[in-house]
Structure 1
Amino acid sequence: MRRFLSLTAMTVAGGLALTQSLAAQETRDLRGQLDFEGRYLVSISDADMVASAYVNGQLGPREGRDALSILPLEGDPRDWQAYEIFASNSVAGPPAAVALSPDGRYAFVVESFTPRPDNDDPHAFGDLTQGRLLKVFDLQDPTNPRLIQERETLERPDAVQMNAAGDILAVTYHPAGAGSETPLALYPFTDGELGERVTPTIDGWPNGERLIEANWHPEDDVLAMIDTSGGATLRFARVADDLSVEVFGNVVDIERAPYRVEFTPDGRHVAINALYWGPDIEGTWIEAPRGSLLTVRMNAETEGDSVRHAFVSRITTGVSPEGLAISPDGRWVATTNLERSYLPYDDARITWFSSITLARLDPESGQLTHVGDFPYDGILPEAAVFDNSSNYLAVANYDHFDDRRVGSSIDFWRIQADPLDLANVQLIKTEHSVPVTRGAHSLAIAR
């Protein structure tokens, strides 16, 4: 009798183990092999305007309030959700209005424009006033973000970035605000608190030109600074302990309407996206041609105190490549291309798609190779980040063509080569998507 019970128990246990194994396999299959690696994603959303306000100036109905969204990347991806807190911000600027400290503990958000008036009346873009706020959020618990500091900064900040050491925050300003006099401010940051602002002199910076973004070297206190006004140039500068700035090497001529700049992981090159917008374009950007992605090598030649930076490579992207991301392994670069997805539905020029351009990057030479342009059904994708494995891309999708679908989404893409033809590389939009407040436009990852 005891033997019979033992065999029965063994049979039940074996069956249970088999059932659990099949269930686990089913879970893996249903998850679609989304092995997106990282601690959490951080995005910000401008709830005050629909995408077509860029064209007709009409903000349209508001959906909620501006938000900072935190998306923990743990557990089953089908159950992922974002945790949000109010954070005033604006899509009217480069998609670099949120930054993280290197340890992921703190998020920094700049307010380019204030929220729209708090009523249900129809509003136009001209009703928004230029912002002045810089906020610090504590993300120690990603499911419960907390505002811990709010500072009044200079008028109309454009972009915010933190250095590799986590002790200096750089903020750039639009010429229509403080940028006509002071395009850059630096803030010391210690023990979770911003210090007093320093506005350094940038020798040779053209008066009134737009320093649209200043981004940090991955190891040193060196800034790459792009001028998106008439000059379309790139400068490199060292930041000293007293937060003074020293430009070094030559000014590099780049391409028309640069928007974002990022160092490669080894710090040898920068990648820059160029939008080809301008006053001679119908609607400034509406009928823009295809954009470009380019690389520049810092310190390409050095002799004594003389330094020369060099333009290296260029490829063509989709139209209006606002977002820019480089993979942690330095092999891939992606741009998120607006195309003309943001036009009003009754505008014959609308493209009922956006796209992503994927390029290979040779870490040694800085050479780019175009992999492909990958269209998808979405509106105004302004930002993307690679995961830690460099095999996946998260993309902030501002809005949806299906107006019944509320809010924005963070969508997940996979880089996939054909196992029988490794030269055939595709960027595939997976079915995984997490909703956030409408208007998502800047994105960062805590690795």
Structure 2
Amino acid sequence: MRKLALLAGLVAMGTVPAFAQTAPITFNARGLVAVSDADMAASAFIDGKLLRDNAVKDKLATIKFPLQRGGKTFESIIVSNSALTYSKSIAVPKNGGLAYVLDARVSPSDDVTEYKNTMQEFPEGQKLTVVDIVNLSAPKQKFAFAVGKNPTAIDINKNELMVATSEVGKELVFLEVNEDGKPTRLAHLPAQLDSTRIIDLSFHPNGNYLAVTLDQTKEVGLYRIVRDGAGKLKNIEMIGKPFKAGNNPATGKFSADGKHYFVLDTKGTVGKATGEGELMVIEFSLDGSAEHKVVSKTPVGLNPGAFAVNPEGTMIVTANVGKSAQPWTETNAGGGSSLTLLKVGADGAMTKVADYPVNGIMPQSVAFDKDGSNVAVAIYEYLDYGNRTGGIEFYSVAKGDTPALTKQPGRISVERGCHTIRVIP
């Protein structure tokens, strides 16, 4: 008993080594939302073999911080979703409360076990599901409605949603929603494009512009959102011309001040690229007086799938699939995933700091917490037989002139196929 009392006194005085007081997972936010596509193994992106369990369903999980050992780590409900997108399959307002989940591709019939081309042959979806996440311990599916065939991306600006779909005449679907998530206004906006589809979109921080990535032409473009005197959307208009951006531009994000637009060049389709990806910095001419252009490129890892910018705008972390999604019979299958840490200057110029190995297959989403002190990474699955799960791994961030990432010892197990996470600060 005297030893226990002495230990308690040392803890109170702060003389016990830090590791004795540090939780296995630290993440400074109210919560996380994660979606998992259970319809196929990660390797199905490569060989088309789904390796599915028809009894396992797509899930949305809500995680509340701080975590309590012995208590329930998260709550999950069945919500249909798809990993066959470019990292923008879910939108969550900054203050949480609701989650808007796209179902780009629906579950195939139970007897389907393989496709020649997974990205092209999966049955088309068209649904947007609204989920109540006010209580992170009890998420509830509210309602769902059709937005257009194969919705590929969604983004949110206050109470406005923009959805990209592959349906002619519905390439861009604008929704104004009330506090319950119900649409109070819907508009199908002219994309002003020929024979190409929008696979990614991002609102500018001021809500008056929309950046898009185009599939077939491998271009990036910019729209101005035309508003009336009350600030309501009237229409959109293209500013300048879409322009070539790398070999295979995918997901993008604006800097917090809106001066720069970052876009991943994956160099190939998901999991199949053979050369390092790049993160591009784009300078848009918002008034149309000059041409949009790529001002710099920085190498990241092989097969990058997503990236996150810290709140200060001084660091970026990319999640790189590497060759981890290869069929398990292949050499080095399940390995090679990584994170790439980049420093960002005030002018948007990037410097690669280091690569960090990731334990898991196909990291497809990454997010900083509210003060940029920690990073969460979505893991599609692990090289595990038997009880196959996905997960969320965590890294601590060292800030300053020499930033670094340090792997945290704990992880959260979620449904297999975890592909997108969003932070509720």
1:84 aligns with 2:76: yes
CA contact (8 A) 2:169 2:190 kept: no
1:211: which partner in 2? 198
Whether the aligned pair in 2 keeps the contact of 1:31 and 1:76 (CA below 8 Å) is no
Partner of 2:408: 430
Q: Among 149, 155, 174, which residue is 1:186 paired with?
A: 174
Distance 1:185 1:275 in 2: 26
TM normalised by structure 2 equals: 0.88
Indicate if the aligned counterparts of 2:343 and 2:352 stay in contact, CA closer than 8 A: yes
- Distance, in Å, in 1 between the alignment partners of 2:388 and 2:74 is 15
Q: Distance in 2 between matches of 1:409 and 1:296?
A: 33
CA–CA separation in structure 1 for the residues paired with 2:368 and 2:9: 36
Residue 351 of structure 1 and its aligned partner are, at CA, apart by: 6.2
**Alpha-carbon distance between aligned partners in 2 of 1:285 and 1:434, rounded to the nearest angstrom:** 24
Question: Given residue 358 of structure 1, which amino acid in structure 2 is its aligned partner?
Answer: L
Aligned twin of 2:321: 338
Change in 2 beyond 3 A, CA 1:51/1:24: farther
The answer to whether 1:317 aligns with 2:311 is no
Counterparts of 2:24 and 2:267 in 1: how far apart (Å)?
38
| Local SS of the residue matching 2:363 | coil
Partner of residue 442, structure 1: 420
Tell me which residue corresponds to 2:208.
Answer: 221
* Higher Rg: 1
The count of aligned residue pairs is 414
Supply the distance in 2 between the matched residues of 1:368 and 1:237 (Cα, whole angstroms): 27
Q: What amino acid maps onto 1:238 in structure 2?
A: I
Which of 229, 253, 275 is residue 244 of structure 2 equivalent to?
A: 253
Equivalent AA in structure 2 for residue 101 of structure 1: P
**1:40 maps to which residue?**
31
- Contact 1:31–1:77 (CA under 8 A) maintained in structure 2: no
Partner SS, residue 445 of structure 1: strand
Aligned amino acid, residue 112 of structure 1: A
Q: Which amino acid aligns with 1:293?
A: L
Alignment partners' CA distance in 1, 2:127 and 2:15: 48
SS in 2 for 1:306: coil
- Superposed displacement of residue 415, structure 1: 2.2
Tell me the secondary structure at the aligned position of residue 190 of structure 2.
Answer: coil
Q: Does 1:53 align with 2:40?
A: no
In structure 2, C-alpha distance between the alignment counterparts of 1:335 and 1:58, rounded to whole Å: 27
The separation in 1 between residues aligned to 2:20 and 2:285, in whole angstroms, is 48
Shift of 1:405: 5.0
Percent identity between matched residues is 23
Alignment match, 1:272: 263
- Once the two structures are superposed, the pairs formed by residues 34-433 of structure 1 within 5 Å of their partners are 34-62=25-53, 64-76=56-68, 81-117=73-109, 119=110, 121=111, 123-125=113-115, 128-163=122-157, 166-174=158-166, 178=167, 180-192=168-180, 193-203=182-192, 205=193, 207-240=194-227, 241-277=232-268, 286-299=272-285, 306-348=289-331, 350=333, 352-362=335-345, 364-404=346-386, 406-416=388-398, 424-433=402-411
State the alpha-carbon separation in 2 of the partners of residues 351 and 44 from structure 1. 21
Gaps of 5+ in 1: 1-10, 279-283
Whether the 8 Å CA contact 1:223–1:239 is kept in 2: the answer is no
- CA drift of 1:99 comes to 0.8
Matched residue SS, 2:377: strand
Q: Aligned partners of 1:98 and 1:130: how far apart in 2?
A: 17
Give yes or no for contact 2:151–2:164 (8 Å, CA) kept in 1: yes
CA distance in structure 2 between the aligned counterparts of 1:345 and 1:17, rounded to whole angstroms: 49
CA distance in 2, matches of 1:388, 1:186: 28
Instruction: Report if the CA contact (8 A) 1:95-1:443 is conserved.
Output: no
Q: Secondary structure at the match of 1:54?
A: helix
Q: Structure 2 unaligned runs (5+)?
A: none
C-alpha separation in 1, matches of 2:300 and 2:307: 11
> Over aligned residues, Cα RMSD in angstroms?
2.9
Query: What displacement does 1:259 show?
Result: 1.3
How far did 1:36 drift? 1.8
State TM-score, norm by structure 1.
0.84
1:168 CA drift (Å): 1.1
The secondary structure found in structure 2 opposite 1:18 is helix
Query: 2: distance between equivalents of 1:21 and 1:76?
Result: 21
Measured after TM superposition, the shift of residue 38 of structure 1 is 1.1
User: 8 Å contact 2:10–2:16 — kept in the other structure?
Assistant: no
Q: Partners in 2 of 1:81 and 1:57 — Cα distance?
A: 33
Query: Do the aligned partners of 1:181 and 1:208 also contact (CA within 8 Å) in 2?
Result: no
Q: Which is further off, 39-48 or 222-231? A: 222-231
SS in 2 for 1:324: strand
Report how far residue 236 of structure 1 moved: 3.8
Q: Structure 1 residue 352: deviation in Å? A: 1.9
Does structure 2 conserve the Cα–Cα contact (< 8 Å) formed by 1:88 and 1:111? yes
Question: Partners of 1:146 and 1:444 in 2: how far apart?
Answer: 17
Question: Could you report, residue by residue, the CA deviation over 1:129-171 in whole angstroms, capped at 9, with x for unpaired residues?
Answer: 21111111111111111112211221111111111xx221111
Contact 1:357 1:373 in 2 (8 A): yes
The one-character-per-residue Cα deviations of 1:341-388 (angstroms, maximum 9, x if unpaired) are 1111122474622111111111x3110111122222210111001111
SS of structure 2 residue aligned to 1:182 = coil
- 8 Å Cα contact 2:209/2:222 also seen in 1: no
